[in-house]
Structure 1
Amino acid sequence: MDDPDGYFGERVAARYDETSAVMFEPRMLDPAVDFLAGLAGDGRALELGVGTGRVALPLSRRGVPVHGVDLSRAMVRRLRAKPGGDAVGVTIGDFATTRVDGTFSLAYLVFNTINNLTTQAAQVACFRNVAAHLEPGGCFVIEVGVPELRKLPPGQNVVPFQVSPTGWAYDVYDVATQSMSSNYVEVVDGRCEFTSIPFRYVWPAELDLMAELAGMRLRERWEDWTRAPFTSESGRHVSVWEKPAA
């Protein structure tokens, strides 16, 4: 990947809000903002992978000072162009290692963004980076899907998740390495465009161990932002780890 914006360069950024439109709907977004605002309290929030500001902007409008980190300048330009975009501070860089000034009562990674770190070492580094930014008693929140390996029969490594007259999307899994990719075929102006983005899937218990290595402990885990119970049938989870107050 030669693009300095990584896999979220201009072509992806230009259509990101459109292709993720369901995630901007109030029924999806409002519970997340309520959840995060409650944890932030009177403190500052750090969003890793701030993107086009889907969560940062409404959280900022709730009175929470938000600072974001993102590798993609193309995505951040979209944030800056939106109303209130200048109220969100942004540092360009890899959120696993990039440091910003000050401390925060809340740090968060939403919409599977932890999986954008494609090695276990990078994911562990992210937890340690967050711990260094958090105030004592501060919280780190991750929203991420549970790996869908139960959908893989023997001999199969592909799980389709979108089929329409104008596009197809599917995930490819390597269960030996926990690497995966999300692949998109879209028909645009009568032509097919292909995009493939690499990820590393991660299990809830593995995230708990990463948190422990960074000096944090699990505080709560839910199926979604409404605090529905997390069960063995849950397809995703919202987990909160806390940095000890002492």
Structure 2
Amino acid sequence: MVDQSRLWDARTAAEYDTPGEGMFAPEVLGPTAATLAGLAAGGSALELAIGTGRVAIALHEAGVAVTGIELSEAMIARLREKVDATEIPVVAGDMTTARAGEGYSLVYLVFNTISNLLTQEEQVECFRNAARHLAPGGCFVIELMVPDLRSLTPGTGGTLEHSEPGYLLVDTYDTLRQVLVSHHVRFDPEVDGSREASIGRTPQRYIWPAELDLMAQLAGFTLESRWADWDRAEFTAESGSHVSVYRLPTLDR
């Protein structure tokens, strides 16, 4: 069993934020926060695996009361450098079991983070924990990639996802267990020698959309919407990711 708290250590937390770029670019965060604020509908929100607060801070600034659950103490410490506990309270713990109250209008889990849970059982428990926190009629939103197994050539088990001077990203697949491991290789491009390279690995259990929908049903949710991105583009067979909105029944049903 992988200790996820060790993967998300102080070094990772320090390097995680890229203000104004990548995941932190306004064109990414703006639609994310706007969509989540609309789904919160004036109520409070809970972010599972809140990390360093990338989305939570933007949502808080949009006027939504946000609480978080986070396993990594290092990520919480980085969040606390930006906002204090009176603005965004955080419960330290696992997103499958930790409790942060109840009655939320919205629970959300972004950027493939449910895949950090490496078994189907844990992923189902994540749905059930989300349901425990929600008020009747509340919704659970998940942002998740669609596995691109079509990119695997016959006889190979991996793909080169990104290459730039000083960095390579290689993904390897165990298709029997639905486990993808991202290998982050960093090196000095000016030095000729493999001893100068370092490598970090992050395992994930990928989930097909239909499997995700079944997990939701087991926890009492129904699928309300599915988009290709936070701008609500149409989800198609060619989409590389999706934003899925699941809703609990209301009391009068």
How far did residue 67 of structure 1 move?
Answer: 0.6
Secondary structure, in 3 states, of the residue corresponding to 1:199? strand
How far did residue 179 of structure 1 move?
Answer: 1.1
TM-score with structure 1 setting the length = 0.95
How far did residue 116 of structure 1 move?
Answer: 0.4
TM-score with structure 2 setting the length = 0.92
Instruction: Give the structure 2 partner of residue 96 of structure 1.
Output: 96
Structure 2 runs not aligned, ≥5 long = none
- Establish whether residue 61 from structure 1 lines up as the match of residue 49 from structure 2: no
The one-letter code sitting in structure 2 at the alignment partner of 1:115 is: S
Maintained 8 Å contact 1:6/1:71: no
My pick for the range that moved more, 118-127 or 1-10, is 1-10
Report matched runs for 1:103-182 at 5 Å: 103-182=103-182
Maintained 8 Å contact 1:79/1:85: no
Once residues 150 and 26 of structure 1 are traced to their aligned partners in structure 2, the CA distance between those partners, rounded to angstroms, is 31
Instruction: Give the structure 1 partner of residue 231 of structure 2.
Output: 226
CA RMSD of aligned residues (A): 1.9
Identity of aligned residues (%): 50
Maintained 8 Å contact 2:45/2:105: yes
Once residues 2 and 226 of structure 1 are traced to their aligned partners in structure 2, the CA distance between those partners, rounded to angstroms, is 34
Instruction: Give the structure 2 partner of residue 192 of structure 1.
Output: 197
Larger Rg: 2
How far did residue 207 of structure 1 move?
Answer: 0.6
Once residues 216 and 31 of structure 1 are traced to their aligned partners in structure 2, the CA distance between those partners, rounded to angstroms, is 24
The one-letter code sitting in structure 2 at the alignment partner of 1:131 is: A
**Aligned residue pairs: how many?**
246
How far did residue 181 of structure 1 move?
Answer: 0.8
Instruction: Give the structure 2 partner of residue 82 of structure 1.
Output: 82
Once residues 62 and 28 of structure 2 are traced to their aligned partners in structure 1, the CA distance between those partners, rounded to angstroms, is 17
- Establish whether residue 243 from structure 1 lines up as the match of residue 245 from structure 2: no
Once residues 20 and 196 of structure 1 are traced to their aligned partners in structure 2, the CA distance between those partners, rounded to angstroms, is 25
The structure 1 segments of at least 4 consecutive aligned residues displaced by more than 3 Å after TM superposition are: 1-4, 18-21, 83-86, 188-191
How far did residue 86 of structure 1 move?
Answer: 4.7
Once residues 34 and 69 of structure 2 are traced to their aligned partners in structure 1, the CA distance between those partners, rounded to angstroms, is 21
Secondary structure, in 3 states, of the residue corresponding to 2:237? coil
